[in-house]
């Protein structure tokens, strides 16, 4: 048994060093290829030009995303509401498929409005950079600012409506989407199976963050020779990488009763 464990340990260690070596080799190759490609095709210039075009178009991109997020989120909510309205009598045994379908539509509505909000925050930053760099005019910036405000309010109210529909499916659930303590109240009114599903989804999100931050960090390192990116992007990625890990470490090390 011990020999088997030792062999397994040795295999894992060798695999670890192979990964490190392969990663370093890949990084070196990518850097060299990057140098070659960037020099040969003047990609730095091309990407800088692309960024300038992106800044010029940013208000229109922003308005497009505003509309898309609002329409998509509304459509999914409307579909779910229609399904619920057509259902006047509950026959739970046959209704699992119906329940899952409606629940998925509502999840899509909430998910799209959430992702939409984050994307809008990001693109609005681009619009702000564009107006400060005089890539776009001030009137267009104020139109975007107004659209930003209105779409945020609209998406937040859509989330509230979606949550209200979820509560028709799950009457025991508590919490208002506009409440700052919504997540806490929602989780408190969830049963053990729902909490387990939430924890599993959170762990998956946390695990995927590790990969995303690693890739982002590697991309930033590869960009150093070609763009004047400064230290700020590294600081942002580093902080975002540190915080979830610190919270995870803290929570895991605390001895709490787990119900």
Partner 1 sequence: MPLQNHLKEHRARLGLNQQQLGSLVGASRQTISLIERGDYSPSVTLALKIARVCRVSVETLFEYEEEDK
Task: Determine, following the binding rule CB under 8 A, whether residue 88 of this chain makes contact with partner 1.
Answer: no
CB nearer partner 1, residue 65 or residue 186 = 186
> In this chain, which of 96, 134, 180, 252 binds partner 1, going by CB under 8 A?
96
Among the residue ranges 38-46, 77-85, 129-137, 185-193, the one whose residues contact partner 1 (CB under 8 A): 185-193
CA distance 244 to 207: 10
Least Å distance, CB 93 to partner 1, is: 8
- CB atoms < 10 A from the CB of 206, how many? 13
- CB atoms < 10 A from the CB of 130, how many? 23
CB nearer partner 1, residue 188 or residue 219 = 188
Cα–Cα distances (Å) from 71 to 23, 148, 155, in that order, read 43, 15, 10
Phi-psi region of 2 (alpha: psi -120 to 50; beta: other; left: phi over 0): alpha
* C-beta separation of 123 from 44 below 8 A: no
CA distance 245 to 210: 9
> In this chain, which of 83, 107, 128, 170 binds partner 1, going by CB under 8 A?
170
Least Å distance, CB 203 to partner 1, is: 18
Residues in the interface with partner 1 (CB under 8 A) total 12
Least Å distance, CB 150 to partner 1, is: 35
**Contacting positions for partner 1 (CB under 8 A):** 90, 92-93, 96, 99, 170, 172, 190-194
């Amino acid at each position: 048994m011990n020999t088997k464990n030792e062999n397994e340990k040795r295999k894992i260690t060798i695999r670890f060093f192979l990964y490190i070596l392969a990663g370093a080799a890949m990084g070196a190759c990518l850097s060299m290829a990057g140098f070659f490609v960037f020099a040969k095709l003047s990609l730095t210039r091309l990407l800088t030009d692309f960024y300038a075009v992106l800044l010029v178009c940013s208000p229109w991109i922003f308005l497009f995303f505003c509309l898309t997020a609002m329409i998509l989120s509304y459509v999914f909510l409307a579909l779910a509401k229609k399904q619920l309205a057509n259902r006047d009598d509950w026959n739970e045994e046959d209704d699992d498929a119906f329940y899952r379908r409606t629940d998925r539509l509502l999840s899509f509505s909430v998910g799209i409005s959430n992702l939409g909000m984050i994307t809008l925050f990001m693109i609005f930053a681009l619009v702000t950079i564009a107006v400060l760099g005089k890539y776009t005019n001030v009137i267009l910036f104020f139109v975007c600012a107004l659209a930003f405000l209105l779409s945020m309010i609209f998406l937040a109210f859509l989330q509230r409506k979606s949550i209200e529909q979820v509560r028709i499916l799950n009457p025991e659930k508590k919490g208002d989407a506009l409440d700052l303590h919504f997540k806490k109240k929602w989780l408190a009114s969830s049963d053990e199976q729902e909490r387990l599903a939430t924890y599993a989804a959170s762990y998956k999100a946390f695990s995927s963050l590790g990969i995303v931050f690693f890739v982002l960090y590697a991309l930033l390192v590869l960009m150093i020779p070609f763009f004047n990116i400064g230290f700020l992007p590294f600081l942002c990625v580093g902080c975002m990488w540190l915080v979830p890990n610190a919270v995870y470490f803290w929570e895991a090390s605390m001895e709490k009763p787990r119900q």
